[in-house]
Structure 1
Amino acid sequence: MITSLAQPSLYCLFGSPEQSHSILLKRSKSLLRLATTRFARTNKRRLGGPTCFFNAEKDSKKNNKKSEWDWPVLKRWDVPWEWQTASLTSLACGLSFVLTGLVETVAIPYLGLQIQELSLDEKAELLFLDQGIVTAVVLGVIYGISNAFKPLPEDLFRYDLREPFNLQKGWLLWAGIGLSGAVLAIALTGAAMSLFNGEAPPQRETDALVQLLPLIGSSSISTACLLGVTGVLAPILEENVFRGFFMVSLTKWVPTPVAVIISAAVFALAHLTPGQFPQLFVLGTALGFSYAQTRNLLTPITIHAFWNSGVILLLTFLQLQGYDIKELLQAT
């Protein structure tokens, strides 16, 4: 319809239809060429130059391959709090631990309980209850303070059961690697200490393990309570405090390997057993690096749980075989 209306005007201006069509065709080509030029210039200004998509897929595969083998053990966490929060929270955890124990000590006589009159099974049950209360209070402090910074990064206080055997982040795979490395390193550390230490081994009457000896192997109830304390509650508490919060907080100011070493030293000192500092430091280092690799608290908790439970089960077996485990501990 537009063409038919335009034809009379073209006839009037240019004469014959052939001339009109020729001129119209030339003008159409000129307009098309002009529009194409302007479009190219506009895209060039917007994109900052010519863009080539030929190697996009190749570059994408290269970047994905690089990130696949980019181990997170050297990366820092995205910590949302400052040093004031980290310091005060660490202090609050220590005070909560001490005050909870003091409150329980004061409350026991008011409950009509006499520690000296309790059986070994009752002492084991009381120990399990005590550890459960301490764990709940200290974790309540940590999670209560950290909740003020929500939403937290997804790798903070993370528990993830998926892909346990993934090469890069499999929590069960790296728990096995960390536990094997810790056992080997602690054995070598103990051998080196025995080789270079010519003095008599220090007395270990105040060690927590020595104090637990009466409960080891005494009954199935005592053994179950000890495994619950050392293999479940203590690993959950200590790994949340020393790795999940303290070590992660340090990565805001120091590289991750340095944070692992510092947290391992504090972890060893917190046990108040100077004679076991080297072994505990090695264990803490293995726990820290395994957690840094997977960013999953299940990894160090699993290592810690198997370590503690293995010690209790081994001592129980030796006790049932008639060995004097107190003498064995003193000798090692």
Structure 2
Amino acid sequence: MFAALPHSRPNLSGAFVATRRTTNPLFLASPSSLNLLSFSRVLRKSDGLVSSRSCSSKRGAHDLFEDFSVLLPDTPWDAKNTWTTFAAYFFILHIPLICQVTNGEGMQVASTALLQTTEFLGALALLHFTVKPQHAISSFFVEKLFTEQRSLIKATIVGAGLLIALVLLTSALADEFIGSRDVTSPVLKEILSDSSQSKAVCFVLYCFIAPALEETIYRGYLLTSLASKMKWWNAVIISSCVFSAAHFSVENSLQLFIIGCILGSVYCWTGNLASSIVIHSVYNAIILQSTIMS
């Protein structure tokens, strides 16, 4: 018997010769090599999935950071004149009046409150006359005080707690590495050493007039104007540096910068000046009470 040949074809002599189907050994895949190929494909797919998820999470965090601020690019003031307007306030109103307070011997609390009120009204007048024709400063500040885009209560509680914690931390670090020193304003001590009536007027001054003035200028005007032409966090940093420098207190400059950053961030998140004014007022009230008790 003859075994059947896999393939046969006649040659020129008429005899059949066996032929084999040749296969390139490079294309032969053993079970183990197939498993390796499948595993490498799975790895590539999983790597692509992880990288896409990583990119998505990064984009999500970036979008969340970008969406932190609700401040709009359209402001009532021309962004090109931001520093010109602020310089007019700073050199015409702020410095002359603050010099009157710091240089006045035996300055009464009523006189200090009057000067602060004059500065506040002068600042509002300046912002009114520099506003764009199609805008009204009254409607802008009404919106900034009474329109709630995000929870004011939550922002106020978190902001005040964070502010107090950071101020206490920086104070403890300063006492540890620099040494304890009295950084309380001598004018404030003089006012608080007077009668109970002077203390009451002082609380009105530092807890209502001063916060309203500073939040209007440094957050309502300066931060709003800067945020219209740059990233909100850069605007917060710049306005906080100016806020710290405007107090002319080297010893308290770091804490004032931190205060400005927190108040600015709260304002950016809520879009409302009421929350930053309340935090500012609470902080000043704590400082006054601690000064009285010291």
* TM-based fold match above 0.5: yes
Distance 1:191 1:100, change over 3 A: closer
Q: 2:111 aligns with which of 99, 120, 126?
A: 126
Give the CA deviation at 1:175: 1.3
Q: TM-score, normalised by structure 1?
A: 0.60
Distance 1:268 1:243, change over 3 A: same
Structure 1 counterpart of 2:86: 90
Q: 1:169-198 CA distances to partner (integer Å, 9 max, x unpaired)?
A: 12233112111000011111222223333x
Q: 1:26-57 CA distances to partner (integer Å, 9 max, x unpaired)?
A: xxxxxxxxxxxxxxxxxxxxxxxxxxxxxxxx
Structure 1 unaligned regions, length at least 5: 1-68, 106-114, 319-324, 326-332
1:267 aligns with 2:243: yes
Q: 1:50-99 CA distances to partner (integer Å, 9 max, x unpaired)?
A: xxxxxxxxxxxxxxxxxxx9985235422344443212111111123247
Q: 2:232 aligns with which of 232, 256, 264?
A: 256
Which has the higher mean CA deviation after the structures are superposed, 178-187 or 150-159?
150-159
Structure 2 unaligned regions, length at least 5: 1-63
Contact 1:78/1:153, CA 8 A, preserved across alignment:
no
Give the CA deviation at 1:232: 0.7
Counterpart CA distance in 2 for 1:160 and 1:102 is 27
Distance 1:126 1:156, change over 3 A: closer
2:228 aligned counterpart, secondary structure = coil
Q: 1:73 aligns with which of 68, 71, 75?
A: 68
Q: 1:300 aligns with which of 273, 276, 290?
A: 276
Q: Which amino acid aligns with 2:91?
A: L
Contact 1:157/1:296, CA 8 A, preserved across alignment:
no
Q: Which amino acid aligns with 2:198?
A: S
Q: TM-score, normalised by structure 2?
A: 0.68
Distance 1:294 1:155, change over 3 A: farther
Q: Percent same amino acid at aligned positions?
A: 22
Distance 1:218 1:235, change over 3 A: same
Q: 1:148-174 CA distances to partner (integer Å, 9 max, x unpaired)?
A: 3416797766344466xxxx6122331
Structure 2 counterpart of 1:178: 159
Give the CA deviation at 1:313: 2.3
Aligned ranges for residues 317-332 of structure 1 at < 5 Å?
A: 318=293, 325=294
- Across the aligned residues of Structure 1 and Structure 2, the Cα RMSD in angstroms comes to 3.1
Q: 1:253-274 CA distances to partner (integer Å, 9 max, x unpaired)?
A: 2211111111111111111101
1:141 aligns with 2:126: yes
Counterpart CA distance in 2 for 1:130 and 1:151 is 26
Structure 2 counterpart of 1:188: 169
Contact 1:96/1:137, CA 8 A, preserved across alignment:
no
Distance 1:92 1:162, change over 3 A: closer
Distance 1:231 1:288, change over 3 A: same
Give the CA deviation at 1:308: 0.7
Aligned ranges for residues 6-155 of structure 1 at < 5 Å?
A: 72-80=67-75, 81-98=77-94, 101=97, 123-146=108-131, 148-150=133-135
Structure 2 counterpart of 1:218: 194
1:291 aligns with 2:267: yes
Which has the higher mean CA deviation after the structures are superposed, 151-160 or 291-300?
151-160
- Paired residues, number: 228
Contact 1:231/1:304, CA 8 A, preserved across alignment:
yes
Aligned ranges for residues 197-208 of structure 1 at < 5 Å?
A: 197=178, 200=179, 204=183
1:146 aligned counterpart, secondary structure = coil
